[in-house]
Amino acid sequence: MVSVARKNMLQGKGRFAFSVAGVAVAALLLAFILALYRGWSERLTSYLDETDTDLWVVQKGNESFFSPSVMLQNTLDRLDPVPGVEHISQLSGRTLRLRFEGDDYDAYVMGFQAPVEGSRFGGKGGPIKMKKGSALPKPGEIIIDDILARIAGIEIGDVVTTGETELTVVGISAGGNLGVSILNFVSSYDGTRLVNMNVALVNYYLLDVTPGQEQSVIDAIETNNAGLSVFTKAEFSESSKQVLRRSLLPVLGLVVILVFLVGAIVVGLTIYTSTIEKEREFGVMKALGTPNRGLMSVVLEQSLVCCLLGFATGTVAVFGATWLAGRLVPQFVTLIRWQDLGLVFAATAAMSLLASWLPIQRVVRVDPLTVFKA
């Protein structure tokens, strides 16, 4: 049966190549979608995961970093006396439009407090990593993420504007690309002036607590402050990821299903056409006593070989596609995991089985008498 399947594929090289290409595209898209989801999932909360703090305090009901809470600055007076709280920092964040050399760029701007020696306030929530320049912007200064700097061609010393305000770039940071937004940093003064429109509001409080007292601090704050919620770093990260899962997963799931079906249809139609053309040969095999299982193996082998070659081609192509996407669109975030390639392989194998169903139905119903027809 192997020789028959191979003969069918070699005789229809063009059709077979088209089928392999269809599977390769399907495998490429499946792997690319998974890489995109994994990349976003990892980068979405990288700022939260890498910020050195124990607890995040937010307005009750705002349980994601991407739906900023709004708290009065005097909330600090209620957090400071809580037993176990050792250090408090505050952050203000908002999407602003930065203008540079005539072009506008949407950027998430974070206002954070510079550390003060000997003080238990400020110093947390700034850039994750500095590439060059100052890590502590003064009023009228800004730290730009390297991704935005690459996109806009911004260098240290350049001046960007937001509204009527000019900000001098004093540093280039790394790690602020969250996939859905890019973090840039200003002083707490500019955070209030630009982010909260001169109103004394705070979006997040970051608390460092005495080791082992996290839960007691959380209970004390939430019991005495009905309008606040407190999360550990891990909890706030996971809660923020839910935003991506709720909004993106249904869309990606639908796309994956459509890609899977298209790939199966391409392979199925190709093999079905080949089966019809070879119907007389299948009739001869059946007339010579070949069981249905033998006929089915010919179809299954054609489908499996096609899908395996398509998977191999698509897998190689996805590495090139993700590299090219990152070069063309710097903020594009992807992550290829071997486990996900295993899922793509399983999907490709399932695709081959689904594609074989209709051709198999055709060959098992072949009438041996067709051999003797003119």
Which tokens is 365 given? 């119903």
* Predicted local confidence at residue 149, as pLDDT: 92
Measure the CA–CA gap between 53 and 207, rounded to whole angstroms.
6
C-alpha–C-alpha distance, residues 272 and 267, integer Å: 8
Q: Judge contact between 190 and 27, C-beta under 8 A.
A: no
Classified as helix, coil or strand, 122 is: coil
- Segment 204-250, tens digit of pLDDT: 999 999 998 999 999 999 998 888 999 999 999 888 888 777 777 77
| Nearest-angstrom CA–CA distance, 334 and 240 | 19
Q: Domain segments of the chain: what residues?
A: 2-44+242-372, 70-202
Please state, in angstroms and as integers, the Cα–Cα distance from residue 184 to each residue in 142, 145, 156, following that order: 7, 6, 14
Say if residues 75 and 108 touch (Cβ distance below 8 Å).
no
For 109, the token pair is: 């701007």
Q: What pLDDT is attached to residue 235?
A: 92
CA distance 42 to 63: 18
Q: Which of 152, 36, 178 is nearest to 95 (CA)?
A: 178
Instruction: Answer yes or no: are the C-beta atoms of 279 and 240 closer than 8 Å.
Output: no
Q: Is the pTM of this model over 0.85?
A: no
304, 4 contact by CB (below 8 A): no
What does the pLDDT read at residue 1? Answer: 45
Residues of the chain with pLDDT below 50 are 1-2, 374
Q: What are phi and psi of 142, to 5 degrees?
A: -145, 150
Q: Are 330 and 151 in contact (CB under 8 A)?
A: yes
Q: How far apart are alpha carbons 59 and 71 in whole angstroms?
A: 6
